[in-house]
Amino acid sequence: MLMIFDTHMHCQRSCDSKMSLAEAVATATKLNIGMCVTEHWDYDYPTFPQAFHFNVEEYAKDMQAVRSDRVLMGIEIGMMPHLVEKNTALARRADFDYILCSIHCVQGFDIYAQDYYVGRDKKKSTVDYLQDMITCLNNHIEIDSLGHIDYIARYWPWKEEPGAFTLHDAPDLFDEVFRILVERDIPMEINTRRLPLPGVVEELQAIYTRYRECGGQYVTLGSDAHYTTAIGGNIRQAAELARAWGLTPVYYKQRCRELMQL
């Protein structure tokens, strides 16, 4: 019985990854974990409009050769308010096991780019980010899990401040995100990328504990790996944290929720 699934990783069809599918499968097998490939797709990405697209049919063909109970096919779709119809159609183009939806852009701007933060403070950045997230969650249809709620904290100028991404900057908006997730029965991902940084576990504990207090039950676990050495990174720590926070780790197979055997 597999102990755990890493449900967020990128291979050669994501423009920012050089890892081959074969390398990813070999690494996950060596680690004795399940895996779900979630290649990037972002329509209308402002800084690189065509970068985060790929041939979905060729991707499905690639996956067909390796797909199994422990190797699953997903996609990470970047949400923006005007993309509901296009993203819905995309999610239905192939027999995906898992649809991970994320916010990579706010008000049409790339939040990876440092010039986005010029003239903004941390609270304003948090508010705008969560407001777009709420709009997208209210309107996007095909979502199995919300990816890396703390994505913006990777790149903003305050990333060195322990606990910078905090409930206190927008408590009502965080609660609205959690309300929608609970109402729509959508889990929230624990993304492991930032877990080793000082203060991040405490920061996320407050967020995920509040999610549970609002009725949240389930989380997915994802390394967001773009290279083999990151596959499964901090996944077992994330599983332990989930249980400590009163949450149940899950993964998706054929768009159906499965409990991880921990």
Q: What is the pLDDT of residues 115-125, one digit of tens each?
A: 999 999 999 99
Q: Which of 6-15, 162-171, 213-222 has the highest mean pLDDT?
A: 213-222
Burial of 104-126, coded b for 16+ CB within 10 Å and e otherwise, reads bbbeeebbeeeebbeeeebeebb
What is the per-residue pLDDT for 161? 81
CA distances from 38 to 13, 16, 161, 182, 243 (A): 10, 13, 30, 23, 24
- Quick one: pLDDT band at residue 261, thresholds 50, 70, 90? confident
What average pLDDT score do residues 14-34 get?
Answer: 93
- Quick one: pLDDT band at residue 2, thresholds 50, 70, 90? low
Q: Are 247 and 217 in contact (CB under 8 A)?
A: yes
For the chain, give the percent of residues with pLDDT over 70: 98
Residues contacting residue 149 through CB under 8 Å, at least 6 positions apart: 133, 177, 188, 189, 191, 207
What average pLDDT score do residues 96-125 get?
Answer: 96
Q: Which of 111, 114, 187 is nearest to 146 (CA)?
A: 187
Average pLDDT, the chain: 95
